[in-house]
Structure 1
Amino acid sequence: VDPVGEGQLGVFMVFLPTVDTVPARTIVEAAAQREDLRVLGWRTVPVGTTVLSGTARRSLPVIEQLLVAADEAVSSDDFERKLYLARRLATRQVEDDAFFICSASSRTVVYKGLFLASTVEQFYWDLIDPMFETDFAIFHQRYSTNTFPAWGMAQPFRILAHNGEINTVQANRSWMAARSNDLASNLWGDRLSDLNPLIEPLPSDSASLDNAFEVLVRSGRSVSHTKEMLMPQAWENVGDLSDEMRAFYEYHAFLSEPWDGPAAIAASDGRHLIAGLDRNGLRPSRWTMTDDIIIVASEAGLSPADEIEATATGQLGPGDVLFVDLDDGRVIFADEARRRLAAKAPYVEWVTTETQTIHGPFDDLQDERYDATKLSRVFGYTAEERRLILQPMAQGTDPMLSMGHDTGLAALSEWPQRLPRYFHQAFAQVTNPPMDPIREKLVMSLRTYLGRRGSILEETAQQAHLLELRSSVLSDAELQGLTANTDPHFRAHSLDITFDATSGTEGMLDALDALCDSASAAVVDGVTILVLSDMGVTATRAPLPIVAVVGAVHHRLIDDGLRLHASIIAVSGEPRDAHDFACLIGVGASAVYPYLAIEQVRSMAVDGAIDVGPVEAQENYRCSLETGLLKIMSKMGICTIASYRGSELFEAIGLDHEVVDRAFRWVQHRIGGVGWDRIANDIIRRHADFETGDEDPGGYYKHRRGGMPHIAAPRAVLALQKAVRSGGTAQWEKYLGQVQDDRPALEIRDLLDIQAVGPAVSVEEVEPIERIMRRFTTAAMSLGAISAETHETLAEAMNYIGGMSNSGEGGEDPARFGTSRNSRIKQIASGRFGITPGYLASAEEFQIKMAQGSKPGEGGQLPGHKVTPAIAALRHTLAGVTLISPPPHHDIYSIEDLAQLIYDLKTFKPLARVSVKLVSGPGVGTIAVGVAKALADGITISGNAGGTGASPLASIKHAGSPWELGLAEAHQALVHNGLRSGLSVETDGGMRTGRDVIIAALLGADRYGWGTVPLLALGCKM
């Protein structure tokens, strides 16, 4: 190789396909030459494959380096940009999953792969070559938790290494795609289009974060600036933040939503090096400094010799950053680094002079623009909703309910369904903890900005010219303030979202298409506030489904390259609870004005149905919605509404692909069914009652005669109690008729037929009843949620039949240990109440509860008045003190933390099994694989239909998935990874009959949990 000048050598570190490397090599060379780089040749990287596992060896790519040179006139930064463009071009052109460019730089080289961390130098022989020198290194060891292992997805990536999860990655990817058409930067000239897509179609959240870092760093920002922009500290509610720093963070919030989630990162562009944490500090990061070295690692003890000579040590806190200038050899801590960043531009002036705040109070006047009674029928309001949803919210409380979800899937219901009922909220478990929106409210924010956004690659005063709202929930005064604003930069335009009620499905879809056309044309014309309103409903005009409208317009504007030019405001009579708002914001709305729900609340106060005034009732309602939104966001560990907006973090169960493809492209979608015809028919059926129809009887939340059917209806409960008391098959058949045979299909398993695989066998050949019953457990129910008598009865009954009862969270009377009343499964939940050495020693199995089927991603709270002296004694607390079980375990923020707890429990009692309770949802299979790798003995997959002592209504009805989906996914993922053998898989959540057990067994379960049915059999009042 011809010698080149210092800084003029670039290295592509490339994973090549094993079958034929020539095409990929040719493409990489051509991409480099297109950037006027001189190709010097290819180098085979020496590796030692003996350290690889069989799986890693089978997928091992050809690993080579392409050496290139730049002219002496090319600056170092321009050289990096040329290498970046060449890498992007080659990546787009090579269509082979085995191909991956690990790095392309004149400053850094990335060595990574699928091998144990301790064998890295045995695999890459370059790293033990005496001539190989570097002044820094970024090293990360991990195992895949949310993605399946692949060579290209190993860490570090090109700029950074990331320990954690980006909970908001779906929204981040979507908004980065929307920014593609609004890029502006003098550095790139006419090459801006070559930067797209900004985020490559890779499965890893860490890879996407690296893509975002890379494009911003190559566009002129430092790695520390990029970190503070994409992963800012929690600045919104911090009172002692300087004006300069507050303005810096607020300005960058105009440019980008945070990449939110538990994260410790180390990043470098080859000249500067940073280590930093997310706003919550949910990953450890400790530093040690000597006279000539600084080490940052997740744990102390990485280099004992250096720690002995340490001159300073410490750890990074939430949002912290540590900066190393490699050119100057200086270590700069957060305060100084941030002061430098805040002085780079007049952020205080820009934010103070350009940004406008919109705030307007509620009033007690009736809105005369519509007939609330008629619209209530059209939008399906019921007396039940007013009593259970709106009334508590108007009084400032969260709507709660016990029992579980037994009305089945919206797609299977014969009753008209609103679109949000098809959406199931996503939640975090194990690998990325949920948040506590009450006690960690400091780091959360609903602050919302409206208006046209500028390029993410540059900083100007114009980009601060936005409107600010306290939250996404609007009052009428705030809506009027938006639409009447005379600033030409905030042109508002209202679009009617109704259609001819006689035109059927075709008319509805034509109206939706026309609406999207009108929205796009309005934005092209300069509109920056797009108001979508169904206030124009009349006797002949029916409302388009608001969630589909917002989703369709959102994606149409992305497709047209216009999404960042305007904000979407939903003005609708349909949304009433926090789930409805989450759906609207999740599919792209910036703010929502629920005019009909607000009128209902005002009317309740005026009529004396609640004991607060109309203005206070409306404000309470808004606060309840805001609290509900924070709870839904926190289930996914998301702190800011900006990062939740457009995330589409839902699973649509039972919606046809034609619906999802048109309006909800990012929504998880595994089971189809309902198409536009059913959606249109449901709207038209409700609209038929506009003038004189009867109000929907309700029954969605609680059983009501003439209302929506419930599986656990009073007749079914009575039939069960008669059956268990009689012991005869006749009564049992009546019970089966009520809950299984004689009711409409409401659940996924109702649609499944059991296929015979051969001729029938004699009963003598079937597993004996005694052995079958050993596979039964009673689901975790804490002493306090149920009475002591019930708790003991369940334990005694399960021990009698050979099954196992689960103590639940809350401890157990030591007098029961070692007796027939002992719960053989002892649960370990986030509050750790009642967990003592004696409690643990009495267990045959430990269950670590990471989530609960009725409220995944949420914690629990036992009010002080329910903490009796007896309960307090078992939980080792004081009577009358409210007890809190936080959403996450505060010692489990990662799969490694879970593995540590499993190890500790097995060390304490080696003969006891350790199982982990998960909740069914998309991706639970990958999480189950991670749990198995953490050496759990069993996994429980809970469905969303399980009972509960008390949970928010929005969680009972709209969070989690049926166990059939999660069980099948977890079983298949474990089998695929060779981890199913020796691991028990249990399922619970709505088990009622022997047929349910058979279905669960066929889908992969070998243990079966029962909760509500045993309680009903005992005669408990629910």
Structure 2
Amino acid sequence: MPQAQGLYNPSHEHDACGVGIVADIQGRRTRSILERALSCVCQLAHRGALDADAKSGDGAGVLTQIPTKLFRREVEKLGHQLYGEGDLGIGFFFLPAQDKYAQAHIRRIAEEVVVRRGLVSLGWRVVPVNPRILGEKAALSAPRIEQLLVARPDSKKLSDDAFEMVLFLARNEIEHRCAADRTPPFYIPSFSSRVIVYKGMLTGTQLKSFYLDLQDPAYETALAVFHQRYSTNTFPTWPLAHPFRMVAHNGEINTLRGNRHWVHAREADLSHPGLDPADLPLLHPIIQPGGSDSSSLDNAFELLSISGRGPLHAMLMLVPSAYRSEESLSPEVRAFYEYHECMNEPWDGPAALAFSDGRIVAACLDRNGLRPARYKITKEGLFLMGSEVGIGDIPEKSVIEKGRLAPGEMIAVDTINKKLLRNSDIKSFAASEKPYAQWVKEGLQTLPLIPAQLPTVPADLTSTLLSFGYSDEELKVILLPMIQKSEEATGSMGDDAALAVFSRRARLFYQYFRQLFAQVTNPPIDP
């Protein structure tokens, strides 16, 4: 990704994309779930973009459960044997393609870290790919793609959640040690015992052709998150393709700078009863530098989810509904949001989010509902959600329910308990886990109102307004509604005023300056 220059800054990276999920409500792992997800991402091609070479895409990918049948076979090829379904962890590595020394160095550090943390290193696997389908730009920046297979030595001593936490810490330690050694940049799309991410600087139609694993009949999953990226005034890269380690996102985070700063500010207070204090520095920085808005959200979400809150609770914290104006919410749910509002600032902006921890897969909308999320449920127990209505090629006769997410709503499939979780159920359960209403009542401190002195109106107000460039239109259209209704005025989009340099009226100094590029072009509302 280019360095900051002129008006461009990597911190302004936003995306406008197509996203969706496919899941079997009964938790049955089948090949058909993956096939439908791959079909859906192809049908979202119009939401992605192509380079001038007509082959290099902005990015496409899929997140699924680890396909046990496929990797049991691969483990046996390495001379090992798996006993339990959840005993395998897979680290997916994008290594520097041309630097053999760096590749060997990263492999050595990764093996040292997993062994030091009590895991068994089963060996490395070169991911089978077909590079001939790549466009010129995608091929030039393509990494060497390998997987590190690891196992827990004794499933009785390390629970599933503890195994996942060890893999999370191992990934962070690998990244920290390599950064300290000034190792050339590399990326780990996933390192988990539950999920695996196949993605790249591809189009949706190239995804299955590039990754040969996705063509393997043994690849079975009960859930899938799919994504087609359109990078809005950003630079497509392999690491910034979606899904990230847990989240895929259509939209943008408009509060990103504040969110990143507040997460960084709280790092010094980070603690966890199940973590060795010596491991806490490995989690810093929580938000990895150089990422997009979506990757930053994924960093925060992953930490909250894996540290014990779970994916649904974590997303309710990060992307809350407009609970103050939702009359249908119970007092308990309001207290849940009010409590967490004191701990975490909302990641706000137009957003349709799909996310999964490998057990639960879910989708939600931001509180303004500015991105589409439409779903179907079939009588066979299939759940499909996406950015478009017609994806998935589901016969209408098999559909028993169809709908869309409203602003601030969430829907989920729990593949372990074999349940479809509705918005009200998700929020009610989260609110009932702790006595949030009591905590808010006992712990919330509010500042007393400070009496304000009415400002004096200068006698020469008109000349002052003229000096500062106020017009009659601004007084009537912008300021008057704010005074009368205590809210910002609402108007239609578009600016048909003449450029300041061509205007016959006096304009403010800063109005003579315009950005050289459209920093954000995706529309506020995605119909």
Q: TM-score range by the shorter chain?
A: 0.7 to 0.9
For residues 512 and 237 of structure 2, the distance between their equivalents in structure 1, rounded to whole angstroms, comes to 28
Q: Where in structure 1 are there 5+ consecutive unaligned residues?
A: 367-371, 373-380, 393-398, 405-436, 439-577, 579-619, 632-858, 860-883, 889-916, 920-941, 972-1022
Using the TM superposition, give the Cα deviation of residue 386 of structure 1 relative to its aligned residue in structure 2, in angstroms. 8.0
Does structure 2 conserve the Cα–Cα contact (< 8 Å) formed by 1:15 and 1:98? no
Q: Which residue of 2 aligns with 1:345?
A: 434
For 2:142 and 2:452, locate their aligned partners in 1 and report how far apart those are by CA, in whole Å: 67
CA deviations on 1:414-465 (whole Å, 9 max, x unpaired) are: xxxxxxxxxxxxxxxxxxxxxxx99xxxxxxxxxxxxxxxxxxxxxxxxxxx
Partners of 2:414 and 2:407 lie apart in 1 by 22
* Alpha-carbon separation, structure 2, partners of 1:247 and 1:300: 35
Q: Which moved more, 1:154-163 or 1:66-75?
A: 66-75
Structural mapping, 1:861-876, within 5 Å: none
Conservation of the 8 A alpha-carbon contact between 1:160 and 1:265 = yes
What residue is the counterpart of 1:121 in the other structure? Answer: 208
- Tell me the residue number matched to 2:110: 28
Tell me if 1:224 matches 2:312: yes
Shift of 1:885: 4.0
**1:203 Cα deviation after fit:** 2.9
Aligned ranges 1:872-951 → 2 under 5 Å: 885-887=491-493, 947=503
**Offset, 1:197:** 0.8
Equivalent residue number for residue 8 of structure 1: 87
Q: Is the 8 A contact 1:43 1:64 kept in 2?
A: yes
Instruction: Find the partner of 2:324 among 236, 246, 250.
Output: 236
Is the aligned partner of 1:74 residue 2:150? no
- Asked if 1:328 is matched to 2:328, the reply is no
Which residue does 1:207 correspond to in 2? Answer: 295
Q: 1:59 to 1:363 in 2, by over 3 A?
A: closer
User: 1: CA distance between counterparts of 2:305 and 2:289?
Assistant: 20
Structure-2 residue corresponding to 1:264: 352
Deviation at 1:284, TM superposition (A): 0.2
Tell me the number of residue pairs that the alignment of Structure 1 and Structure 2 aligns.
Answer: 428
Aligned CA distance change for structure 1 residues 60 and 362 (closer, same or farther; 3 Å):
same
Aligned residue for 1:318? 407
Q: Deviations over 1:213-244 (max 9, x none)?
A: 10001110111111110000011233342211
2:175 matches 1:91: yes
The answer to whether structure 1 residue 104 and structure 2 residue 174 are counterparts is no
2:471 counterpart residue number: 401
Residue 402 of structure 1 and its aligned partner are, at CA, apart by 6.7
Aligned twin of 1:962: 513
CA separation in 2, counterparts of 1:944 and 1:189?
Answer: 60
Aligned to 1:111, the other structure's residue is in SS state strand
Distance in 2, Cα, partners of 1:120 & 1:286:
23
Find the counterpart in structure 2 of residue 144 from structure 1: 231
In structure 2, relative to structure 1, the CA distance for the partners of 1:401 and 1:203 (3 Å cut) is farther
How many angstroms apart in 2 are the aligned matches of 1:130 and 1:918?
57
Please provide the CA RMSD for this pair.
3.5
Q: Relative to 1, partners in 2 of residues 1:358 and 1:66: Cα closer, same or farther, differing over 3 Å?
A: same
With over 3 angstroms needed to count, the CA separation of the structure-2 counterparts of 1:364 and 1:162, relative to structure 1, is closer
Partner SS state of residue 360, structure 1: coil
Match of 1:294 among 373, 380, 383: 383
| Local SS of the residue matching 1:356 | coil
Taking the TM superposition and a 5 Å limit, the aligned residue runs for 1:156-195 are: 156-190=243-277, 191-195=279-283
TM-score, with normalisation over the residues of structure 2? 0.74
Amino acid at match of 1:196: H
Kindly provide the CA deviation profile for residues 913-971 of structure 1, in whole angstroms up to 9, marking residues without a partner as x.
xxxx999xxxxxxxxxxxxxxxxxxxxxx977674999xx9xx566x7723xx33x679
Matched residue, 1:499: none
**Conserved? CA contact 1:247–1:348, under 8 Å:** yes
Q: Deviations over 1:639-691 (max 9, x none)?
A: xxxxxxxxxxxxxxxxxxxxxxxxxxxxxxxxxxxxxxxxxxxxxxxxxxxxx
SS of aligned partner of 2:324: coil
- State whether residues 15 and 99 of structure 1, in contact with CA within 8 Å, keep that contact through their aligned partners in structure 2: yes
Unpaired segments ≥5 residues, structure 2: 1-77, 520-527
| Contact persistence 1:17–1:96 (CA under 8 A) | no
State how far apart, in whole Å, the 2-side matches of 1:127 and 1:948 are. Answer: 62
Q: Is the 8 A contact 2:233 2:518 kept in 1?
A: no
Q: Which structure carries more relative contact order (alpha carbon 8 Å, separation 6+)?
A: 2
Instruction: Give the aligned residue type for 1:298.
Output: S
1:18 aligns with 2:107: no
> Aligned partner of 1:5: which letter?
Y
1:38 aligns with 2:117: no
What is the rounded CA distance, in whole Å, between the counterparts of 1:116 and 1:345 in structure 2?
44
Aligned counterparts of 1:263 and 1:42: Cα–Cα separation in 2? 37
TM-score in terms of structure 1 length: 0.39
Q: Is the 8 A contact 1:301 1:307 kept in 2?
A: no
Tell me the secondary structure at the aligned position of residue 308 of structure 2.
coil
**C-alpha distance in 1, partners of 2:459/2:352?**
49
Cα offsets for 1:540-567 (capped at 9, x unmatched): xxxxxxxxxxxxxxxxxxxxxxxxxxxx
Identify the residue that residue 285 of structure 2 maps to in structure 1. 197
Max Rg structure: 1
1:66 is paired with a residue of what secondary structure? strand
SS at match of 1:147: coil
d(CA) in 1 for partners of 2:411, 2:193:
24
Work out whether residues 121 and 127 of structure 1, in 8 Å CA contact, stay in contact via their aligned partners in 2. Answer: yes
Structure 1 Cα separation of the partners of residues 107 and 303 of structure 2: 24
